[in-house]
Amino acid sequence: MCGRYALHSSPEVVALQFGLRAAPAWPARYNIAPTQIAPIVRAVATGGREMALARWGLIPSWARDMAMGARMNNARAETVAEKPAFRAAFRRRRCLVPVDGWYEWKAEDGRKQPYFLHLREGGLAALAGLWEEWISPDGSPLESYAVVTTEANAEAAAVHDRMPVVISREQQALWLEGPVKEAGTLLRPLGTGELAFHKVDRRMSGARVDDEQCIAPVSGEEPPPAVKSPLTKFGSGGQGRLL
């Protein structure tokens, strides 16, 4: 799964990596949590891409109220094409979620220990996402999104049995605009050896904590050993407001 993530890269770096013409400003975030507002990238009908701010936790267009989105921050790759909450967005409203890394928790010594996972070579990762527009009873539109997850690769499995789907730069156009069948082929784990992680301070488990120390390694701690995996390596795989 993906329960929290960080996006602290500069707007200029994000714009360059995601093919955006503008470099909009937003604050560095180190602990983005479900129900909070964060940037997503999506294709536009006139060509090109745009960035929008949306609420993390997808609210289906048919939902009676926005509370449903609180438990829809992740969409499982294995069922995304059939599950009523996600299937329409999977067909027509795919997006990318820019992150510098994400967090997972592992039970250790009777407590939940957070770890920060990121690309081994550093830099931004593009997570596969889905977005939706929901109209409130008073007629106000609200855009929201979910992160698509799959089985963990060898590194991530040392912490959790699920991980977000990571879309490589070469595959971004296919995910955003390609046919459903072809886009579905991208819903697979990141290649073995492409991910790194480290233990972080438990203080970041509080959703209100959001500073650079959230991603800092705990001094003197070693990560758990990677779990052996048979997976073969492959390529790295409020109202929404436009930025």
Instruction: Please spell the DSSP secondary structure of 38-99, one letter per residue.
Output: EEEEEE-TTSSEEEEEEEES---TT-SSGGGGGG-SEEETTTTTT-TTTHHHHHH-EEEEEE
**Spatial separation of the C-alpha atoms in residues 116 and 102, rounded to whole Å:** 6
Range with top average pLDDT, 21-30, 60-69, 77-86, 133-142: 77-86
Render pLDDT for 25-62 as a digit per residue (tens, 0 to 9).
889 999 999 999 999 999 998 889 999 999 999 999 99
Q: Span 101-126, mean pLDDT?
A: 96
Other C-beta atoms lying within 10 Å of the C-beta of residue 192: 17
Looking at residue 220, what is its pLDDT? 61
Predicted TM-score (pTM) of this structure? 0.89
Render pLDDT for 94-105 as a digit per residue (tens, 0 to 9).
999 999 999 999
Higher per-residue pLDDT: 228 or 109: 109
**CB contact at 8 A, 83 and 75:** yes
Using left for φ > 0, alpha for ψ between -120 and 50, and beta otherwise, residue 182 falls in: alpha
**Spatial separation of the C-alpha atoms in residues 147 and 242, rounded to whole Å:** 19
- Nearest 10 degrees: Cα torsion 62, 65, 66, 72: -60
β-strand partners of 65: none
Render pLDDT for 193-240 as a digit per residue (tens, 0 to 9).
999 999 999 999 999 999 999 999 997 655 555 444 333 332 333 444
CATH of 4-242, one of 3.40.640.10, 3.40.50.460, 3.20.20.70, 3.90.1680.10: 3.90.1680.10
Looking at residue 51, what is its pLDDT? 93
User: Which member of 95, 104, 155, 194 is catalytic?
Assistant: 104
Reply yes or no on whether the pLDDT at 141 is more than 90. Answer: yes
Residue 87 in 3-state DSSP?
Answer: helix
2 is catalytic: yes
What's the mean per-residue pLDDT of the chain?
Answer: 89
Q: Any idea what the Cα angle at residue 56 is, between residues 92 and 18, rounded to 5°? A: 60
Higher per-residue pLDDT: 63 or 148: 148
214 is catalytic: no
Task: pLDDT band for 242, please (50, 70, 90 cuts).
Answer: very low
